[in-house]
Amino acid sequence: MTDFFERKKQQLNIALNNVQKQAVLQTEGPLLLLACPGSGKTTTMIMRIGYLIEEKHVDPRRIKAITFSRASARDMTERFSRFFPEREPIDFSTIHSLAFTIARSYLATSGTTFDLIEGGGKGRQSVNKAFLLKGIYKEVLKEDCTDDELASLSTFISSIKNSMIPLEQWEELKGPVDKAGRMARKYEQYKSRTPGHLLLDFDDMLTIAEQGLRQDEQLAERFRKLYDYLLTDESQDTSLVQHKIVEHLVAHHGNLCVVADDDQSIYTWRGAEPDYLLEFKKVYPDAQVLMMERNYRSSKEIVELTSKFIKRNQKRYPKDMHTENKAKEPIYIRQLDDSKRQLEYVTYELLGESNLNEVAILFRNNSSSTMYVNELHRRGIPFYMKDADDKFFSHWIVEDILNFMRLSFNTERKDIFTKIVMKMNVFISRSMLTTFENTATTGNVFDAIIQTIDLKDSQVKKLKDYKKGYDVIPDMRPERVIQLIRNDLGYEAALKSRAEKFGYRFDHLLGILDTLEGIASPLRTMVEFANQLKELEQAVQQAKFQPAENAVTLSTFHSAKGLEFRRVFMIDLLKGIIPSEEDEGDTATLEEARRLFYVGMTRAKERLELLSYRQDEGKPKEDSRFLNEVRGLLLKPSKVGNEPKSVKVSKASIPVNPNGIDDGNELVVGAIVKHRVFGQGEITVRDGTEIHIQFGEMEKRLDLETVLSLRLLEMVTL
């Protein structure tokens, strides 16, 4: 019989290296397969499953493969069908899907009914997780929670469940918001308050499944008998309770293949346990450990740099990632003047790219993406949002600014005024505001509140000054209106006070205001500004669910894991962002931040650009310590004389189309033009600094100055 590997090489043109072959052949007993970025782990896993079926004649139904997400489960299912089209499908699923099956069986044995309150599950309960947490937050802290606080509280509760911390210890735990532990305890008490009936979130599926396998031997035996071989993927992001579930399932035979990379563990904040991998042999003493260290993805420069960079972490397996790929381009490190120059640099470089789908812009925080969304949308550059941040547009600061603007259209709107007056740094109390709301006073709201409420002279003076500000707002451009709101109307001072009271990061709040100013900058009226926010929100949704074919990817470092691109821009590489101030305070979190930086760099195949800037709003900025570490590695002399070098470039070099239009007089309504990305289209509107072009069923609004300076359009002769 033809050797399995030779046969697959002939059938699929897949040739495994020696370590990959070992991973395929090592089928019995526990195996920890440590796979560096770009080392072909998915192919190896699929081949291992195929070997079990074709060579060891294992029934496909006796093999269970656990993936990190539904998307990866679909991807692996599709790959398996391509590699082994004649074979019965394998059960690829997430750990949550498997746990739900186990938990449902366990609850059924005791006659316990349940409803899911997360993920759109249907049931008799009208409450969902978010609604429940908001109510508990207000009950405990006497304040409404923001979307950010809700997300942080939800993640905190998920983390303590995944870490298997006993319920009786929850109340004393410190969390991202005040009294988070108490709120977590109340949340659990509410979900189990009805005898014989539970409300379950996603994490409850895991904890109940683990409890069932641990306490009910008949249940455990039933599920153990289902599978003879288990494989788990992306196990560096697996939580303690998930690891325990797997332990229960392989307790009899121990045939477990764990595929992971401890250097890419970036989810400890939501319960992942990377230390479990480091202590794998304590759980499975007879385990084999194999290291897939050859990178097939990236250039020699990128692999050599990133391999040295991640070795600065102490808690890791001693891997030595290498490649046989050739040298391509140096690593580019650029420090721009400010965030605007960074944005301009990236944008102009994208305008020179023909294959945008091979390019990614990566960032630590989603807040970094909004200005890029605005600029790419304005210039007609198609983009895909890996993790769409439409929460920005519903953030309470955005709503505040819009309410400040709305009041300027009618200063008698008491309903709007009451939403913002407590954010004008006038120190009006809630009881004062309630008194004002309950009066029948009409007319200008500033005069009305002065007449109605007993105020100090300093408060009266501020309100009169604010009234004068509102007299001039209607004639201002929206960027200047935002500046007036921030400074003259006291909003920024009120934000600082609110940040200190509730533990917000003040610089993050200011960043949102800066972004709004940037969006408003080219616009003429407040109505245009409000419409632009709506349009951008829709563009983000479209970029997430219906992106153009040839689109640049925008993603956080976290969401980029598993992806690869020819060219990668890593932006905002500043102290306080990556690593954050919180990261700097602890060795473990600092190492995780370094792993996150490593994940970002290893997405690049040929060209990696690391970007920072010197100042923001006149305030000096410092480069990320990780960026300085990279500089040090690049400048360090190589023992073999072949060290990659960084290149600093102050100006972007954009190829100009010699046949492109550079005379604005040619761009008239009705003209037929050709765009290098969107193809042929007709100019439908020319409005000041913009032109609108209809490309088939798609309309694009392009910045006129950019179109002319870079000659992006050619005239089409009919």
Mean pLDDT of 116-142: 79
8 Å CB contact between 213 and 248 = yes
8 Å CB contact between 275 and 315 = yes
Please provide the average confidence, as pLDDT, over all residues in the chain: 88
Find the Cα–Cα–Cα–Cα dihedral 500, 506, 510, 515, rounded to 10°.
-130
Per DSSP, helices labelled H in 567-658 are 581-584, 587-601, 625-635
Condensed to tens digits (0 to 9), the pLDDT of residues 18-29 reads 999 999 999 999
8 Å CB contact between 67 and 93 = yes
Mean pLDDT of 637-657: 44
Condensed to tens digits (0 to 9), the pLDDT of residues 463-512 reads 888 888 898 898 899 999 999 999 888 899 888 888 877 667 787 788 88
Per-residue tokens: 602 = 């290893």
pLDDT value, residue 637: 53
- 67 Cα distance to chain centroid: 19
Residue 523 in this model has a pLDDT that exceeds 80: yes
DSSP state of 326: P
Condensed to tens digits (0 to 9), the pLDDT of residues 24-63 reads 999 999 999 999 999 999 999 999 999 999 999 999 999 9
Q: Which helix (H) or strand (E) holds 33?
A: strand 31-35
Closest CA to 163 of 206, 215, 116: 206
Give SS3 for 171: helix
Among positive and negative, which fits the CA dihedral 240, 246, 251, 256? negative
Condensed to tens digits (0 to 9), the pLDDT of residues 671-717 reads 898 886 677 889 898 887 788 888 877 777 787 877 787 778 888 87
Condensed to tens digits (0 to 9), the pLDDT of residues 363-374 reads 998 778 888 998
Mean pLDDT of 593-606: 97
Nearest-angstrom CA–CA distance, 66 and 94: 5
User: CA dist 79 to 20, 75, 84, 92, Å?
Assistant: 17, 6, 8, 11
Q: Which helix (H) or strand (E) holds 383?
A: strand 383-385
CA atoms lying within 13 Å on the CB side of residue 172:
5
Condensed to tens digits (0 to 9), the pLDDT of residues 190-225 reads 999 999 999 999 999 999 999 999 999 999 999 999
Of 82-91, 268-277, 342-351, the one with minimum mean pLDDT is: 268-277
pLDDT value, residue 717: 77
Nearest-angstrom CA–CA distance, 136 and 493: 29
Nearest-angstrom CA–CA distance, 699 and 319: 50
Rounded to two decimals, what is the model's pTM?
0.81
Give all domains of the chain, ordered by start, each with its CATH number: 4-98+208-293 (3.40.50.300), 120-195 (no CATH), 302-382+548-647 (3.40.50.300), 394-524 (1.10.486), 664-715 (2.40.10)
User: CA dist 389 to 393, 400, 544, 545, 596, Å?
Assistant: 8, 19, 9, 13, 19
Per-residue tokens: 640 = 């073999």
Per DSSP, helices labelled H in 37-119 are 41-54, 70-83, 95-109
Nearest-angstrom CA–CA distance, 477 and 38: 50
Q: Round to the nearest angstrom and report the end-to-end CA distance of the chain.
A: 65
Q: Count CB neighbours of 472 within 10 A.
A: 13
pLDDT value, residue 508: 76
pLDDT value, residue 126: 60
